Amino acid sequence: MNGARSRNASYRKGTEAARIRGNRVRDLNKIQSEAYRQVEEIRGVADAKATEIYAKAYNQSPEAVAFYEFTRTMQAYKSIIAENTTLVLSTDSDLFKFLKGITPKGGVVQAQRSGDAR
């Protein structure tokens, strides 16, 4: 009889421990979900505010719009172009627009037409 009581007590303790662990996991998941929701909400508000600030700043004059386009293009260059990168651009692309006036140090830019051999 003592063995049965001991097994029954162990079973109840194990069941109770499992319930406590389950509650802990559920509570942790709830906390993480709420934190994630708050982070995304804050990020959304911040993005909206940043967009509003950019719109006000860059839509004040045509020069501001042109400057914004230039800075965004330069940022794109930084992420796209690496050492020894070859680009194939359309002559009416935004990236090409800013490259047209650039010449290498002490050199002349020579266009290579498709079909030309090097």
What is the reported pTM?
A: 0.42
Tens-place pLDDT, residues 11-26: 677 788 888 899 999 9
Tens-place pLDDT, residues 75-91: 887 887 888 888 787 88
What are the DSSP calls for 19-37, one per residue?
Answer: HHHHHHHHHHHHHHHHHHH
Per-residue confidence band for 31, with pLDDT thresholds at 50, 70 and 90: very high
Q: What pLDDT is stored for residue 86 in this prediction? A: 82
Label residues 73-95 b or e (16+ Cβ within 10 Å = b): beeeeeeeeeeeeeeeeeeeeee
Record the tokens describing residue 26, joined without a space.
């559920």
Q: What pLDDT is stored for residue 116 in this prediction? A: 47
Higher pLDDT, 93 or 103: 93
> Phi and psi at residue 79, in whole multiples of 5°?
-85, -20
Per-residue confidence band for 71, with pLDDT thresholds at 50, 70 and 90: confident
